[in-house]
Amino acid sequence: MAKAWGGRFQQATDSRVESFTESISFDQRLFEVDVQGSQAHAKMLAAVGLITEQESRLICETLDQIRQEIAEGRFPFSAELEDIHMHIESALIARIGDVGRKLHTGRSRNDQVSTDLKLYVRRAIDELDGLLEDLQKAFVGRCDQDAGVILPGYTHLQRAQPVAAAHYWLAYCEKFQRDRERLADCRKRVNISPLGAAALAGSSLPIDRHMTANLLQFDSVAANSLDVSSDRDYLVEFVFCLSLVSAHLSTWCEEWIIWFTTEFGFLRLPDAYTTGSSIMPQKRNPDVLELIRGKTARVMAAVPQLLILLKSLPMAYNRDLQEDKLAMFAAFDTIKVCLELAPAVVAGAELKVDQIQSRLEDGFLDATALMEYLIRKGVPMRSGHETVGQLVARCEGTGSRLADLTLAELQNSCSVITEDVYQVLGAANAMRALCSYGSGGEASVLQRVNEWKKRLS
């Protein structure tokens, strides 16, 4: 098959080189955005008089047909034609001859591939934003059903302070909100048009880059053609954003895997989202959570993969860049399947309230509340800390809880303590005493729940 760039070659390409250099096996999924970019380019070529309106229309219509055939799986791909750009252009030429030969006027595959990638990533960001919102809705959706439930909060995975269960759910909403904002910010740099930067230097033809940018709904036009052909910063940013999404997902999964253990027993997962063991009949494993946690590796690996690809590349385009798509697609596909599954798991799980409740008074979740009680009574913080620490040690010795101590025993440790101390002792009281903005206390959390409901409606 004659190559589009074959003019100066006397020898045919070695077939091993063809299969080594091809990217059609993984860039064919760019076909829609490639056609979209080419149609905008053809319209612009007509507007500036480089081709006629009729030619432009013929190109656009034929590209529509080609897109349709690819979408329906009726389009043959072969390694000889390298990549999606060459496949579509050759099909165009095969169908409309010389008119098709004019499409590549004033552009190169270097700006073309970056345009395709930017259109693809822009769409991916919009799609992920919707999926992240679905996940936030699933967490917010739990808040009413778990109203009144108190969970131990942990630091170092050791019992720390009690919080309203909804505080946990909204903590995830905050994380995924930052992810959405980060993606929206990344989208600003994605949405700058590379098209018309051509190979590396721009063109001596009267192309109108602002027009193609407008047609493709880019916000602006990249100002330096050399920069354009080498720029993949936006892909690094994109996969980094995805890495943080996966970090947040993996934290949630890890937490629920722990909560699902017999030792914790906080959580019931629906059968539909758990799997069994081939040898141990009693097993019910949280494989979905484990795999979301595990797939984090694939997403995060895309960041170093792209950075290593870019490091020390000379300007401008180098064929190394073809590898960028492998990292980006892997990260995007992986995060997408995780986000598609996660909301159902979040909504389908149930807190084992009785189990949680039955051990809520273990671990001195109210110790900090008692210390803050002392502070309110005028005791310096460090002294209060010391006093409560000694009370905890005494309770540990006798196997009792702070709330079990008599008023006389408490006053013996610190004379400012009065009867009202029992209003902060016990996990429920300690949780309700939390009142600062953003705290895990019931009243504060309820306000945030309402805000989130409004925000996501």
Question: Active-site residue numbers?
Answer: 156, 277
In whole angstroms, what is the distance from residue 340 CA to residue 332 CA?
A: 12
* Longest Cα separation, the chain: 101
Residue of 131, 221, 321, 425 interacting with ligand ARG (CB under 6 A): 321
115 binds ligand ARG (CB under 6 A): no
Would you say 34 or 55 has its CB closer to ligand ARG? 34
* Helix residue ranges per DSSP H, 29-108: 31-47, 53-71, 84-96
23 binds ligand ARG (CB under 6 A): yes
Binding segment for ligand ARG (CB under 6 A), chosen from 54-62, 164-172, 282-290, 319-327, is: 319-327
Helices (H) and strands (E) in the chain, counts: 18, 6
Would you say 36 or 322 has its CB closer to ligand ARG? 322
Token pair, residue 166, equals 């909804």
Minimum CB separation from ligand ARG for residue 317, in Å? Answer: 6
In whole angstroms, what is the distance from residue 457 CA to residue 449 CA?
A: 12
- Cis status, amide bond into 197, omega within 30 of 0: no
Minimum CB separation from ligand ARG for residue 155, in Å? Answer: 47
Query: What is the torsional sign of CA 374, 376, 381, 385?
Result: positive
In whole angstroms, what is the distance from residue 322 CA to residue 270 CA?
A: 43
- Cis status, amide bond into 316, omega within 30 of 0: yes
Would you say 23 or 62 has its CB closer to ligand ARG? 23
Of residues 248 through 307, those in contact with ligand ARG by CB under 6 A are none
Token pair, residue 44, equals 């612009």
Binding segment for ligand ARG (CB under 6 A), chosen from 107-115, 162-170, 367-375, 444-452, is: 107-115
Binding segment for ligand ARG (CB under 6 A), chosen from 67-75, 108-116, 257-265, 296-304, is: 108-116
Residue of 317, 332, 364, 373 interacting with ligand ARG (CB under 6 A): 317
User: 81 near 87, Cβ under 8 Å?
Assistant: yes
322 binds ligand ARG (CB under 6 A): yes
Could you tell me which residues come within 8 angstroms of residue 70 by beta carbon, excluding any fewer than 6 positions away? 28, 31
Nearest-10 crossing angle of helices 287-310, 233-259 = 160
Minimum CB separation from ligand ARG for residue 325, in Å? Answer: 6
110 binds ligand ARG (CB under 6 A): yes
Would you say 322 or 334 has its CB closer to ligand ARG? 322
Residue of 87, 102, 107, 109 interacting with ligand ARG (CB under 6 A): 109
User: 410 near 417, Cβ under 8 Å?
Assistant: yes
String marking each residue 25-44 x if it binds ligand ARG according to CB under 6 A = --x-----------------
User: 348 near 269, Cβ under 8 Å?
Assistant: yes
* Phi/psi of residue 162, nearest 5 degrees: -85, 145
Query: What is the torsional sign of CA 151, 153, 157, 159?
Result: negative
Minimum CB separation from ligand ARG for residue 318, in Å? Answer: 9
Would you say 55 or 83 has its CB closer to ligand ARG? 83
* Phi/psi of residue 217, nearest 5 degrees: 55, 35
* Number of chain residues interacting with ligand ARG (CB under 6 A): 11
Q: How many C-beta neighbours within 10 Å does residue 346 have?
A: 21
Q: What angle do CA 44, 27, 298 make, to 5 degrees?
A: 130
Would you say 23 or 191 has its CB closer to ligand ARG? 23
In whole angstroms, what is the distance from residue 135 CA to residue 339 CA?
A: 7
Would you say 34 or 442 has its CB closer to ligand ARG? 34
Residue of 34, 83, 111, 237 interacting with ligand ARG (CB under 6 A): 83
328 binds ligand ARG (CB under 6 A): no
Minimum CB separation from ligand ARG for residue 139, in Å? Answer: 39
Minimum CB separation from ligand ARG for residue 84, in Å? Answer: 8
Token pair, residue 244, equals 């943080």
Would you say 321 or 405 has its CB closer to ligand ARG? 321
Minimum CB separation from ligand ARG for residue 29, in Å? Answer: 12
Residues engaged in binding ligand ARG (CB under 6 A): 23, 27, 83, 85, 109-110, 113, 317, 319, 321-322
